[in-house]
Structure 1
Amino acid sequence: MVAIEPLPSTDIESKPSNSTTTGVDSNSSNRLNADGGVVSSSGDKATAAGYASDGYETASETEVGDDDTVSDNSDKSYAVEHEHQQQKSEEMSTVSKDPTYEDALNDDEFKQKLLAQMNEAKVEGNKLFGEELYEEALLKYDYAIQLAPEMSSSSEIRSICHNNRATCFFKLGKYEDTIKECSKALEINPTYMKSLLRRGEAHEKLENYEEAIADMKKILELDPSNYQCKRTIIRLEPLAIQKREKMKEEMLGKLKDMGDSILGKFGMSVDNFKAVKDPNTGSYSISFQR
Protein backbone atom coordinates (compact mmCIF):
# COMPACT_ATOMS: atom_id res chain seq x y z
CA MET A 1 0.00 0.00 0.00
CA VAL A 2 1.32 3.43 -0.95
CA ALA A 3 0.53 6.31 1.41
CA ILE A 4 0.25 9.74 -0.24
CA GLU A 5 1.53 12.65 1.80
CA PRO A 6 -0.21 16.02 1.39
CA LEU A 7 1.77 18.39 -0.82
CA PRO A 8 3.42 21.34 0.93
CA SER A 9 1.95 23.79 -1.52
CA THR A 10 0.58 27.15 -0.37
CA ASP A 11 -0.59 28.15 -3.82
CA ILE A 12 -3.49 25.70 -4.13
CA GLU A 13 -6.46 25.67 -1.70
CA SER A 14 -8.07 22.31 -1.32
CA LYS A 15 -11.55 22.32 -2.77
CA PRO A 16 -14.32 20.88 -0.62
CA SER A 17 -15.11 17.36 -1.56
CA ASN A 18 -18.32 16.58 -3.46
CA SER A 19 -17.80 12.87 -2.91
CA THR A 20 -19.09 10.74 -0.05
CA THR A 21 -15.98 8.52 -0.21
CA THR A 22 -13.64 8.92 2.73
CA GLY A 23 -10.52 7.89 0.84
CA VAL A 24 -9.11 6.36 -2.31
CA ASP A 25 -8.67 2.67 -2.80
CA SER A 26 -5.56 1.46 -0.92
CA ASN A 27 -4.70 -0.86 -3.81
CA SER A 28 -4.25 1.99 -6.34
CA SER A 29 -1.09 1.75 -8.50
CA ASN A 30 -0.57 5.55 -8.51
CA ARG A 31 3.04 6.71 -7.98
CA LEU A 32 4.75 9.96 -7.06
CA ASN A 33 6.21 12.01 -9.86
CA ALA A 34 9.48 13.84 -9.46
CA ASP A 35 7.85 17.28 -9.27
CA GLY A 36 5.52 16.24 -6.44
CA GLY A 37 2.56 15.28 -8.59
CA VAL A 38 0.92 11.89 -8.79
CA VAL A 39 1.05 9.81 -11.91
CA SER A 40 -1.76 7.33 -12.27
CA SER A 41 -1.38 3.89 -13.70
CA SER A 42 -2.70 5.24 -16.98
CA GLY A 43 0.14 7.74 -17.18
CA ASP A 44 -1.92 10.85 -16.42
CA LYS A 45 -0.49 13.44 -14.03
CA ALA A 46 -2.47 14.58 -10.98
CA THR A 47 -2.08 17.66 -8.77
CA ALA A 48 -2.81 18.09 -5.08
CA ALA A 49 -6.15 19.64 -5.90
CA GLY A 50 -7.24 16.82 -8.18
CA TYR A 51 -6.63 14.77 -11.26
CA ALA A 52 -6.01 17.07 -14.21
CA SER A 53 -6.95 14.48 -16.80
CA ASP A 54 -10.39 13.48 -15.54
CA GLY A 55 -11.49 16.37 -13.31
CA TYR A 56 -12.16 14.23 -10.19
CA GLU A 57 -11.23 15.63 -6.80
CA THR A 58 -9.73 13.81 -3.85
CA ALA A 59 -12.06 13.12 -1.00
CA SER A 60 -9.96 15.05 1.49
CA GLU A 61 -6.48 16.35 1.98
CA THR A 62 -5.62 13.31 4.08
CA GLU A 63 -6.10 10.06 2.15
CA VAL A 64 -7.17 7.12 4.26
CA GLY A 65 -6.24 3.56 3.52
CA ASP A 66 -6.66 0.81 6.08
CA ASP A 67 -6.45 3.23 9.05
CA ASP A 68 -9.64 3.32 11.14
CA THR A 69 -9.13 6.96 12.19
CA VAL A 70 -11.08 9.40 10.03
CA SER A 71 -10.25 13.07 10.31
CA ASP A 72 -12.81 14.40 7.84
CA ASN A 73 -15.52 16.53 9.50
CA SER A 74 -18.17 15.17 7.16
CA ASP A 75 -17.38 11.66 8.41
CA LYS A 76 -17.87 12.83 12.00
CA SER A 77 -21.18 14.47 11.09
CA TYR A 78 -22.27 11.29 9.36
CA ALA A 79 -21.35 9.23 12.41
CA VAL A 80 -23.25 11.56 14.74
CA GLU A 81 -26.30 11.60 12.46
CA HIS A 82 -26.20 7.83 12.12
CA GLU A 83 -26.06 7.45 15.90
CA HIS A 84 -28.99 9.89 16.29
CA GLN A 85 -31.10 8.00 13.74
CA GLN A 86 -30.29 4.70 15.42
CA GLN A 87 -31.25 6.09 18.84
CA LYS A 88 -34.51 7.49 17.44
CA SER A 89 -35.28 4.16 15.81
CA GLU A 90 -34.67 2.36 19.10
CA GLU A 91 -36.98 4.81 20.94
CA MET A 92 -39.76 4.31 18.39
CA SER A 93 -39.27 0.56 18.63
CA THR A 94 -39.56 0.77 22.41
CA VAL A 95 -42.77 2.84 22.20
CA SER A 96 -44.33 0.51 19.65
CA LYS A 97 -43.59 -2.44 21.92
CA ASP A 98 -45.09 -0.70 24.96
CA PRO A 99 -48.33 -2.57 25.86
CA THR A 100 -49.87 0.63 27.22
CA TYR A 101 -49.28 2.41 23.92
CA GLU A 102 -50.73 -0.50 21.96
CA ASP A 103 -53.75 -0.74 24.28
CA ALA A 104 -54.44 2.99 23.93
CA LEU A 105 -54.19 2.76 20.15
CA ASN A 106 -56.45 -0.29 19.99
CA ASP A 107 -58.99 1.30 22.35
CA ASP A 108 -59.15 4.44 20.22
CA GLU A 109 -59.58 2.40 17.04
CA PHE A 110 -62.31 0.36 18.73
CA LYS A 111 -64.20 3.51 19.75
CA GLN A 112 -63.97 4.91 16.23
CA LYS A 113 -65.42 1.69 14.82
CA LEU A 114 -68.27 1.79 17.34
CA LEU A 115 -69.09 5.39 16.41
CA ALA A 116 -69.10 4.47 12.73
CA GLN A 117 -71.47 1.56 13.38
CA MET A 118 -73.74 3.76 15.49
CA ASN A 119 -73.91 6.39 12.78
CA GLU A 120 -74.63 3.75 10.16
CA ALA A 121 -77.52 2.37 12.22
CA LYS A 122 -78.87 5.89 12.74
CA VAL A 123 -78.79 6.56 8.97
CA GLU A 124 -80.64 3.29 8.33
CA GLY A 125 -83.23 4.33 10.93
CA ASN A 126 -83.69 7.68 9.21
CA LYS A 127 -84.28 5.91 5.91
CA LEU A 128 -86.93 3.66 7.46
CA PHE A 129 -88.56 6.69 9.09
CA GLY A 130 -88.74 8.37 5.70
CA GLU A 131 -90.57 5.30 4.42
CA GLU A 132 -92.98 5.60 7.40
CA LEU A 133 -91.76 2.28 8.80
CA TYR A 134 -91.70 3.64 12.34
CA GLU A 135 -91.53 0.34 14.23
CA GLU A 136 -88.53 -0.79 12.17
CA ALA A 137 -86.89 2.60 12.59
CA LEU A 138 -87.31 2.34 16.36
CA LEU A 139 -85.30 -0.88 16.36
CA LYS A 140 -82.46 0.69 14.37
CA TYR A 141 -82.24 3.68 16.69
CA ASP A 142 -82.29 1.44 19.74
CA TYR A 143 -79.53 -0.73 18.24
CA ALA A 144 -77.37 2.36 17.73
CA ILE A 145 -77.91 3.43 21.35
CA GLN A 146 -77.08 -0.02 22.77
CA LEU A 147 -73.77 -0.23 20.86
CA ALA A 148 -72.13 2.23 23.26
CA PRO A 149 -74.60 3.24 25.99
CA GLU A 150 -71.95 4.64 28.35
CA MET A 151 -69.20 5.89 26.01
CA SER A 152 -68.83 9.66 26.39
CA SER A 153 -67.86 10.22 22.76
CA SER A 154 -71.14 8.62 21.65
CA SER A 155 -73.34 11.02 23.63
CA GLU A 156 -74.29 13.14 20.63
CA ILE A 157 -75.44 10.19 18.51
CA ARG A 158 -77.30 8.67 21.49
CA SER A 159 -79.20 11.89 22.20
CA ILE A 160 -80.17 12.19 18.52
CA CYS A 161 -81.36 8.57 18.43
CA HIS A 162 -83.46 9.06 21.58
CA ASN A 163 -85.04 12.14 19.99
CA ASN A 164 -85.68 10.23 16.76
CA ARG A 165 -87.30 7.41 18.74
CA ALA A 166 -89.50 10.03 20.39
CA THR A 167 -90.55 11.26 16.96
CA CYS A 168 -91.43 7.72 15.90
CA PHE A 169 -93.57 7.25 19.01
CA PHE A 170 -95.24 10.60 18.35
CA LYS A 171 -96.13 9.46 14.83
CA LEU A 172 -97.56 6.25 16.31
CA GLY A 173 -99.65 8.24 18.80
CA LYS A 174 -97.71 6.88 21.79
CA TYR A 175 -97.27 10.16 23.60
CA GLU A 176 -96.19 8.75 26.95
CA ASP A 177 -93.31 6.95 25.24
CA THR A 178 -92.53 10.13 23.34
CA ILE A 179 -92.11 12.00 26.63
CA LYS A 180 -89.87 9.26 28.04
CA GLU A 181 -87.55 9.27 25.02
CA CYS A 182 -87.35 13.07 24.96
CA SER A 183 -86.46 13.07 28.65
CA LYS A 184 -83.64 10.57 27.97
CA ALA A 185 -82.31 12.76 25.18
CA LEU A 186 -82.43 15.79 27.48
CA GLU A 187 -80.59 13.93 30.23
CA ILE A 188 -77.69 13.64 27.79
CA ASN A 189 -78.11 17.09 26.26
CA PRO A 190 -80.18 19.47 28.43
CA THR A 191 -80.14 22.16 25.71
CA TYR A 192 -81.58 19.92 22.99
CA MET A 193 -84.37 22.22 21.77
CA LYS A 194 -85.89 19.70 19.37
CA SER A 195 -86.48 17.32 22.27
CA LEU A 196 -87.96 20.11 24.38
CA LEU A 197 -90.33 21.02 21.56
CA ARG A 198 -91.32 17.41 20.88
CA ARG A 199 -91.90 16.72 24.56
CA GLY A 200 -93.99 19.88 24.86
CA GLU A 201 -96.14 18.76 21.92
CA ALA A 202 -96.63 15.35 23.49
CA HIS A 203 -97.63 16.96 26.79
CA GLU A 204 -100.19 19.07 24.95
CA LYS A 205 -101.65 15.97 23.31
CA LEU A 206 -102.11 14.48 26.78
CA GLU A 207 -103.56 17.79 28.04
CA ASN A 208 -100.61 18.27 30.36
CA TYR A 209 -100.71 21.99 29.66
CA GLU A 210 -98.62 23.06 32.63
CA GLU A 211 -95.79 20.73 31.59
CA ALA A 212 -96.07 21.81 27.95
CA ILE A 213 -95.80 25.47 28.95
CA ALA A 214 -92.74 24.65 31.09
CA ASP A 215 -90.97 23.10 28.08
CA MET A 216 -91.83 26.10 25.90
CA LYS A 217 -90.41 28.45 28.50
CA LYS A 218 -87.16 26.46 28.60
CA ILE A 219 -86.89 26.86 24.84
CA LEU A 220 -87.37 30.62 25.22
CA GLU A 221 -84.54 30.69 27.75
CA LEU A 222 -82.28 29.16 25.10
CA ASP A 223 -83.77 31.11 22.20
CA PRO A 224 -85.63 34.28 23.26
CA SER A 225 -86.51 35.08 19.64
CA ASN A 226 -88.55 31.89 19.19
CA TYR A 227 -91.96 33.40 18.46
CA GLN A 228 -93.55 30.02 17.84
CA CYS A 229 -93.01 29.10 21.49
CA LYS A 230 -94.35 32.47 22.61
CA ARG A 231 -97.55 31.92 20.60
CA THR A 232 -97.85 28.39 21.97
CA ILE A 233 -97.58 29.64 25.56
CA ILE A 234 -100.25 32.29 24.91
CA ARG A 235 -102.52 29.62 23.44
CA LEU A 236 -101.96 27.09 26.22
CA GLU A 237 -102.22 29.34 29.27
CA PRO A 238 -106.06 29.67 29.15
CA LEU A 239 -106.33 25.91 28.70
CA ALA A 240 -104.06 25.38 31.69
CA ILE A 241 -106.22 27.69 33.84
CA GLN A 242 -109.39 25.95 32.71
CA LYS A 243 -107.92 22.56 33.54
CA ARG A 244 -106.83 23.74 37.00
CA GLU A 245 -110.36 24.91 37.80
CA LYS A 246 -111.80 21.67 36.54
CA MET A 247 -109.41 19.68 38.70
CA LYS A 248 -110.36 21.73 41.74
CA GLU A 249 -114.03 21.06 41.15
CA GLU A 250 -113.36 17.36 40.76
CA MET A 251 -111.29 17.34 43.91
CA LEU A 252 -113.97 19.15 45.89
CA GLY A 253 -116.61 16.75 44.59
CA LYS A 254 -114.57 13.79 45.80
CA LEU A 255 -114.00 15.42 49.16
CA LYS A 256 -117.74 16.12 49.48
CA ASP A 257 -118.61 12.49 48.82
CA MET A 258 -116.08 11.32 51.32
CA GLY A 259 -117.22 13.88 53.88
CA ASP A 260 -120.88 12.95 53.51
CA SER A 261 -120.06 9.31 54.15
CA ILE A 262 -118.27 10.22 57.38
CA LEU A 263 -120.48 13.09 58.61
CA GLY A 264 -123.68 11.16 57.92
CA LYS A 265 -122.92 9.01 60.94
CA PHE A 266 -123.33 12.16 63.06
CA GLY A 267 -126.41 13.48 61.30
CA MET A 268 -124.48 16.07 59.38
CA SER A 269 -123.57 16.72 55.78
CA VAL A 270 -120.88 18.53 53.93
CA ASP A 271 -123.59 21.00 52.99
CA ASN A 272 -123.29 22.26 56.56
CA PHE A 273 -119.84 23.51 55.55
CA LYS A 274 -119.54 26.30 53.06
CA ALA A 275 -116.40 26.99 51.05
CA VAL A 276 -115.82 30.65 50.33
CA LYS A 277 -113.24 31.67 47.72
CA ASP A 278 -111.04 34.69 48.38
CA PRO A 279 -111.03 36.78 45.15
CA ASN A 280 -107.62 38.22 45.94
CA THR A 281 -105.68 35.02 46.63
CA GLY A 282 -107.91 32.40 45.00
CA SER A 283 -107.77 30.28 48.15
CA TYR A 284 -110.82 28.84 49.95
CA SER A 285 -112.01 29.13 53.54
CA ILE A 286 -114.47 26.76 55.18
CA SER A 287 -117.34 27.90 57.49
CA PHE A 288 -119.84 25.72 59.39
CA GLN A 289 -123.59 26.38 59.03
CA ARG A 290 -126.59 24.62 60.56
Structure 2
Amino acid sequence: MVVIEPAIESEETNLNPKQASSSTTTPPATSAESAKDASDGFETASEGEPETDDEESDGGAGDEQQQQQVSSCEDALNDDQLKEKALAQANDAKMEGNKLFGAGQYQEALSQYELALQVAPEMPSSVEIRSICHANQAICFLKLEKIEDAIKECTKALELNPTYMKALTRRAEAHEKLEHFEEALADTKKILELDPSNSQARRAIPRLEQLAKEKQEKLKEEMIGKLKDMGNSLLGRFGMSVDNFKAVKDPETGQYSISFQR
Protein backbone atom coordinates (compact mmCIF):
# COMPACT_ATOMS: atom_id res chain seq x y z
CA MET A 1 0.00 0.00 0.00
CA VAL A 2 1.29 3.38 -0.92
CA VAL A 3 0.47 6.19 1.56
CA ILE A 4 0.20 9.68 0.01
CA GLU A 5 0.82 12.50 2.60
CA PRO A 6 -1.32 15.66 2.22
CA ALA A 7 0.58 18.74 1.04
CA ILE A 8 1.14 21.51 3.68
CA GLU A 9 -0.16 24.96 2.52
CA SER A 10 2.41 27.68 2.67
CA GLU A 11 1.81 31.43 2.58
CA GLU A 12 2.73 31.42 -1.03
CA THR A 13 0.02 28.89 -1.87
CA ASN A 14 -2.64 31.32 -0.50
CA LEU A 15 -1.65 33.99 -2.99
CA ASN A 16 -3.22 34.21 -6.36
CA PRO A 17 -0.94 33.56 -9.28
CA LYS A 18 -0.47 37.26 -10.00
CA GLN A 19 0.46 38.07 -6.41
CA ALA A 20 2.70 35.08 -6.20
CA SER A 21 4.40 36.02 -9.41
CA SER A 22 5.01 39.57 -8.28
CA SER A 23 6.25 38.46 -4.91
CA THR A 24 8.72 36.14 -6.42
CA THR A 25 9.90 38.27 -9.32
CA THR A 26 10.21 41.75 -7.67
CA PRO A 27 13.60 42.16 -6.10
CA PRO A 28 13.74 43.69 -2.62
CA ALA A 29 14.29 47.44 -2.56
CA THR A 30 17.52 48.77 -1.29
CA SER A 31 17.60 50.78 1.93
CA ALA A 32 18.25 54.01 0.03
CA GLU A 33 15.29 53.44 -2.27
CA SER A 34 13.01 52.64 0.68
CA ALA A 35 13.99 55.87 2.38
CA LYS A 36 13.33 57.83 -0.80
CA ASP A 37 9.88 56.24 -1.32
CA ALA A 38 8.87 56.87 2.30
CA SER A 39 9.79 60.53 2.13
CA ASP A 40 8.13 61.37 -1.20
CA GLY A 41 5.14 63.71 -0.68
CA PHE A 42 5.58 64.08 3.12
CA GLU A 43 7.32 66.58 5.40
CA THR A 44 10.19 65.34 7.42
CA ALA A 45 10.53 66.15 11.08
CA SER A 46 12.96 68.96 10.34
CA GLU A 47 10.53 70.57 7.85
CA GLY A 48 7.30 70.28 9.80
CA GLU A 49 6.27 70.44 13.46
CA PRO A 50 8.85 70.01 16.22
CA GLU A 51 9.45 66.45 17.17
CA THR A 52 7.25 65.11 19.92
CA ASP A 53 10.24 63.73 21.78
CA ASP A 54 11.34 67.27 22.68
CA GLU A 55 7.86 68.13 23.99
CA GLU A 56 7.74 64.99 26.09
CA SER A 57 11.11 65.81 27.55
CA ASP A 58 9.57 69.02 29.00
CA GLY A 59 7.24 66.94 31.12
CA GLY A 60 4.17 68.03 29.10
CA ALA A 61 4.63 71.72 30.07
CA GLY A 62 3.78 72.91 26.57
CA ASP A 63 0.52 70.96 26.48
CA GLU A 64 -0.41 72.14 29.96
CA GLN A 65 0.23 75.78 29.08
CA GLN A 66 -1.86 75.44 25.93
CA GLN A 67 -4.70 73.86 27.89
CA GLN A 68 -4.58 76.72 30.41
CA GLN A 69 -4.79 79.27 27.61
CA VAL A 70 -7.75 77.49 26.05
CA SER A 71 -9.46 77.26 29.44
CA SER A 72 -8.86 80.96 30.09
CA CYS A 73 -10.34 81.89 26.71
CA GLU A 74 -13.38 79.70 27.37
CA ASP A 75 -13.91 81.32 30.79
CA ALA A 76 -13.68 84.80 29.28
CA LEU A 77 -16.13 83.83 26.56
CA ASN A 78 -18.58 82.40 29.07
CA ASP A 79 -18.29 85.52 31.22
CA ASP A 80 -19.01 87.78 28.24
CA GLN A 81 -22.01 85.67 27.31
CA LEU A 82 -23.38 85.89 30.84
CA LYS A 83 -22.97 89.67 30.84
CA GLU A 84 -24.71 90.00 27.49
CA LYS A 85 -27.58 87.85 28.74
CA ALA A 86 -27.88 89.93 31.92
CA LEU A 87 -27.83 93.12 29.87
CA ALA A 88 -30.66 91.81 27.69
CA GLN A 89 -32.69 90.92 30.80
CA ALA A 90 -32.10 94.40 32.22
CA ASN A 91 -33.31 95.98 28.98
CA ASP A 92 -36.46 93.84 29.02
CA ALA A 93 -37.20 94.94 32.60
CA LYS A 94 -36.64 98.58 31.66
CA MET A 95 -39.04 98.29 28.71
CA GLU A 96 -41.65 96.70 30.97
CA GLY A 97 -41.15 99.57 33.42
CA ASN A 98 -41.76 102.06 30.63
CA LYS A 99 -45.05 100.36 29.77
CA LEU A 100 -46.17 100.44 33.39
CA PHE A 101 -45.20 104.10 33.71
CA GLY A 102 -47.21 104.92 30.59
CA ALA A 103 -50.19 103.20 32.22
CA GLY A 104 -49.81 105.32 35.35
CA GLN A 105 -48.65 102.37 37.47
CA TYR A 106 -45.70 104.19 38.98
CA GLN A 107 -45.03 101.87 41.92
CA GLU A 108 -45.01 98.82 39.64
CA ALA A 109 -42.76 100.66 37.19
CA LEU A 110 -40.35 101.36 40.04
CA SER A 111 -40.10 97.62 40.72
CA GLN A 112 -39.16 96.91 37.11
CA TYR A 113 -36.52 99.64 37.02
CA GLU A 114 -35.08 98.29 40.27
CA LEU A 115 -34.99 94.78 38.79
CA ALA A 116 -33.12 96.10 35.75
CA LEU A 117 -30.55 97.73 38.02
CA GLN A 118 -30.09 94.51 39.98
CA VAL A 119 -29.39 92.31 36.95
CA ALA A 120 -27.45 94.85 34.87
CA PRO A 121 -23.73 94.02 35.11
CA GLU A 122 -21.37 96.78 36.17
CA MET A 123 -19.42 97.26 32.98
CA PRO A 124 -18.96 100.14 30.51
CA SER A 125 -21.62 98.86 28.11
CA SER A 126 -24.27 98.93 30.88
CA VAL A 127 -23.65 102.51 32.04
CA GLU A 128 -26.34 103.90 29.75
CA ILE A 129 -29.12 101.56 30.81
CA ARG A 130 -28.29 101.96 34.51
CA SER A 131 -28.30 105.77 34.28
CA ILE A 132 -31.63 105.65 32.40
CA CYS A 133 -33.19 103.39 35.04
CA HIS A 134 -32.10 105.74 37.84
CA ALA A 135 -33.54 108.73 35.97
CA ASN A 136 -36.77 106.83 35.30
CA GLN A 137 -37.04 105.94 38.96
CA ALA A 138 -36.67 109.65 39.69
CA ILE A 139 -39.66 110.59 37.54
CA CYS A 140 -41.70 107.84 39.23
CA PHE A 141 -40.82 109.30 42.64
CA LEU A 142 -41.80 112.76 41.40
CA LYS A 143 -45.20 111.40 40.39
CA LEU A 144 -45.53 109.75 43.81
CA GLU A 145 -44.53 113.04 45.54
CA LYS A 146 -41.41 111.43 47.02
CA ILE A 147 -39.23 114.39 46.16
CA GLU A 148 -36.14 113.55 48.22
CA ASP A 149 -35.99 110.08 46.66
CA ALA A 150 -36.29 111.65 43.22
CA ILE A 151 -33.27 113.86 43.93
CA LYS A 152 -31.23 110.87 45.09
CA GLU A 153 -32.03 108.87 41.94
CA CYS A 154 -31.16 111.80 39.67
CA THR A 155 -27.85 112.19 41.47
CA LYS A 156 -27.07 108.48 40.91
CA ALA A 157 -27.91 108.86 37.22
CA LEU A 158 -25.62 111.89 36.94
CA GLU A 159 -22.78 110.06 38.68
CA LEU A 160 -22.91 107.57 35.80
CA ASN A 161 -23.52 110.21 33.11
CA PRO A 162 -22.74 113.82 34.18
CA THR A 163 -24.22 115.25 30.97
CA TYR A 164 -27.58 113.47 31.24
CA MET A 165 -30.02 116.29 30.43
CA LYS A 166 -33.20 114.59 31.66
CA ALA A 167 -31.62 113.79 35.01
CA LEU A 168 -30.51 117.43 35.39
CA THR A 169 -33.97 118.69 34.44
CA ARG A 170 -35.76 116.34 36.86
CA ARG A 171 -33.38 117.14 39.71
CA ALA A 172 -33.84 120.89 39.13
CA GLU A 173 -37.61 120.39 39.23
CA ALA A 174 -37.37 118.37 42.44
CA HIS A 175 -35.11 120.96 44.10
CA GLU A 176 -37.54 123.74 43.20
CA LYS A 177 -40.45 121.79 44.72
CA LEU A 178 -38.50 121.68 48.00
CA GLU A 179 -37.58 125.38 47.66
CA HIS A 180 -33.92 124.49 47.16
CA PHE A 181 -33.70 127.39 44.73
CA GLU A 182 -29.91 127.68 44.69
CA GLU A 183 -29.52 123.98 43.88
CA ALA A 184 -32.22 124.21 41.22
CA LEU A 185 -30.46 127.25 39.78
CA ALA A 186 -27.14 125.38 39.63
CA ASP A 187 -28.71 122.47 37.71
CA THR A 188 -30.51 124.84 35.33
CA LYS A 189 -27.30 126.71 34.58
CA LYS A 190 -25.62 123.38 33.85
CA ILE A 191 -28.42 122.54 31.42
CA LEU A 192 -27.93 125.85 29.61
CA GLU A 193 -24.18 125.26 29.55
CA LEU A 194 -24.68 121.89 27.86
CA ASP A 195 -27.42 123.20 25.56
CA PRO A 196 -27.20 126.97 24.95
CA SER A 197 -30.31 126.80 22.77
CA ASN A 198 -32.48 125.52 25.64
CA SER A 199 -35.01 128.35 25.91
CA GLN A 200 -36.82 126.78 28.87
CA ALA A 201 -33.65 126.80 30.96
CA ARG A 202 -32.85 130.35 29.82
CA ARG A 203 -36.25 131.58 31.01
CA ALA A 204 -36.02 129.67 34.29
CA ILE A 205 -32.70 131.17 35.39
CA PRO A 206 -33.92 134.75 36.18
CA ARG A 207 -36.96 133.36 37.99
CA LEU A 208 -34.84 131.02 40.09
CA GLU A 209 -32.33 133.78 40.83
CA GLN A 210 -35.16 135.97 42.17
CA LEU A 211 -36.58 133.12 44.23
CA ALA A 212 -33.13 132.32 45.66
CA LYS A 213 -32.62 136.00 46.59
CA GLU A 214 -36.01 136.23 48.28
CA LYS A 215 -35.32 133.08 50.23
CA GLN A 216 -31.98 134.47 51.41
CA GLU A 217 -33.68 137.64 52.63
CA LYS A 218 -36.33 135.63 54.38
CA LEU A 219 -33.72 133.45 56.08
CA LYS A 220 -31.80 136.56 57.13
CA GLU A 221 -34.90 138.09 58.70
CA GLU A 222 -35.67 134.85 60.49
CA MET A 223 -32.12 134.70 61.83
CA ILE A 224 -32.26 138.30 63.05
CA GLY A 225 -35.58 137.61 64.71
CA LYS A 226 -34.13 134.60 66.55
CA LEU A 227 -31.13 136.64 67.67
CA LYS A 228 -33.42 139.39 68.96
CA ASP A 229 -35.45 136.90 70.92
CA MET A 230 -32.28 135.45 72.43
CA GLY A 231 -30.95 138.92 73.27
CA ASN A 232 -34.21 140.03 74.85
CA SER A 233 -34.31 136.92 77.01
CA LEU A 234 -30.86 137.79 78.37
CA LEU A 235 -31.24 141.57 78.61
CA GLY A 236 -34.69 141.30 80.11
CA ARG A 237 -33.10 140.27 83.37
CA PHE A 238 -31.58 143.75 83.53
CA GLY A 239 -34.67 145.61 82.43
CA MET A 240 -33.41 146.14 78.89
CA SER A 241 -34.00 144.83 75.37
CA VAL A 242 -32.16 144.80 72.10
CA ASP A 243 -34.22 147.84 71.08
CA ASN A 244 -32.01 149.83 73.47
CA PHE A 245 -29.09 149.17 71.17
CA LYS A 246 -28.73 150.74 67.77
CA ALA A 247 -26.17 149.92 65.11
CA VAL A 248 -24.76 152.99 63.37
CA LYS A 249 -22.75 152.60 60.15
CA ASP A 250 -19.72 154.83 59.58
CA PRO A 251 -20.03 156.15 55.98
CA GLU A 252 -16.26 156.50 55.60
CA THR A 253 -15.10 153.11 56.89
CA GLY A 254 -18.28 151.10 56.41
CA GLN A 255 -17.95 149.75 59.94
CA TYR A 256 -20.75 149.61 62.49
CA SER A 257 -20.76 150.92 66.02
CA ILE A 258 -23.33 150.10 68.70
CA SER A 259 -24.95 152.89 70.67
CA PHE A 260 -27.15 152.47 73.72
CA GLN A 261 -30.50 154.31 73.89
CA ARG A 262 -33.04 154.37 76.67
With normalisation by structure 1, the TM-score equals 0.65
> Who is 1:288 aligned against?
259
- Judge conservation of contact 1:148–1:154 (CA < 8 Å) in 2: yes
Report if the CA contact (8 A) 2:87-2:121 is conserved.
no
1:154 to 96, 119, 126: 126
Amino acid at match of 2:116: A
Q: 2:94 aligns with which of 108, 112, 122?
A: 122
The reply to whether residue 104 of structure 1 matches residue 104 of structure 2 is no
Selected match of 1:197 from 165, 169, 173: 169
- Structure 1 residue 199 displacement after superposition: 0.4
CA 1:278/1:72 → structure 2, altered by over 3 Å: closer, same or farther? Answer: farther
Q: CA deviation at 1:244?
A: 1.3
Could you tell me which residue of structure 2 aligns to residue 228 of structure 1?
A: 200
Tell me which residue corresponds to 1:253.
225
Partner-residue secondary structure (3-state), 2:141: helix
- Residue 42 of structure 1 corresponds to none
Does residue 69 (structure 1) correspond to residue 36 (structure 2)? The answer is: yes
Q: In the TM superposition, what is the alpha-carbon distance from 1:149 to its structure 2 partner? A: 6.5
Distance in 2 of aligned mates of 1:262 and 1:117: 67
1:194 maps to amino acid: K
Q: 1:149·1:158 contact (CA, 8 Å) conserved in 2?
A: no
1:274 aligns with: 246
| Number of equivalences | 223
Q: Aligned-pair distance for 1:147?
A: 2.0
Separation in 1, partners of 2:255, 2:135: 43
Distance 1:149 1:246, change over 3 A: farther
Same amino acid, percent of matched pairs: 61
CA contact (8 A) 2:97 2:110 kept: yes
After TM superposition, the structure 1 stretch with the greater mean CA deviation from structure 2, 175-184 or 262-271, is 262-271
1:96 Cα deviation from its structure 2 partner: 8.0
* Distance in 1 separating the partners of 2:144 and 2:202: 27
Alignment root-mean-square deviation, CA: 3.7
Partner of 1:18: none
Q: Structure 1: how far apart are the matches of 2:86 and 2:146?
A: 30
What's the CA shift string for 1:158-190, capped at 9, x where partnerless?
111000000101112221111111011111111
Q: Which amino acid aligns with 1:205?
A: K
Compared with structure 1, are the counterparts of its residues 150 and 276 closer, same or farther at alpha carbon in structure 2 (3 Å cutoff)? farther
Query: Separation in 2 of the partners of 1:219 and 1:288?
Result: 50
Amino acid at match of 2:104: E
1:69 is paired with a residue of what secondary structure?
helix
State the alpha-carbon separation in 1 of the partners of residues 189 and 158 from structure 2.
Answer: 15
| Aligned-residue offset at 1:289 | 2.3
With 236-245 and 145-154 compared, the bigger mean Cα shift is at 145-154
Q: Residues 100 and 285 (structure 1 numbering): CA distance in 2 closer, same or farther, change over 3 Å?
A: farther
Q: Give me the whole-angstrom Cα distance separating, in 1, the residues matched to 2:118 and 2:147.
A: 23
Rounded to whole Å, the distance in 1 between the matches of 2:250 and 2:184 is 28
Shift of 1:267: 2.4
- What CA distance in whole angstroms lies between the structure 1 residues aligned with 2:230 and 2:141? 40
Indicate if the aligned counterparts of 1:95 and 1:101 stay in contact, CA closer than 8 A: no
SS in 2 for 1:190: coil
How much does 1:155 deviate?
2.0
- Which structure is higher in helix share? 2
- Cα-to-partner distance string for 1:14-56 (whole Å, 9 max, x where unaligned): xxxxxxxxxxxxx7x9xxxxxxxxxxxxxxxxxxxxxxxxxxx
Cα distance 1:195–1:237, how it changes in 2: closer, same or farther (>3 A)? same
Aligned equivalents of 1:246, 1:225: Cα separation in 2:
33
SS in 2 for 1:274: strand
Aligned match of 1:177:
149
Query: Would the alpha carbon gap of residues 275 and 129 (structure 1) be closer, same or farther in structure 2, given more than 3 Å must change?
Result: farther
Distance 1:120 1:95, change over 3 A: farther
Give the deviation of 1:69 after TM superposition: 2.7
Structure 2 letter corresponding to 1:289? F
Q: Cα offset for 1:263? A: 1.6
Q: Is the 8 A contact 2:249 2:257 kept in 1?
A: no
1:187 corresponds to: 159
Tell me the secondary structure at the aligned position of residue 191 of structure 1. coil
Paired letter, 1:116:
A
Q: How far 1:150 moved relative to its partner?
A: 4.2
Q: Which residue of 2 aligns with 1:22?
A: none
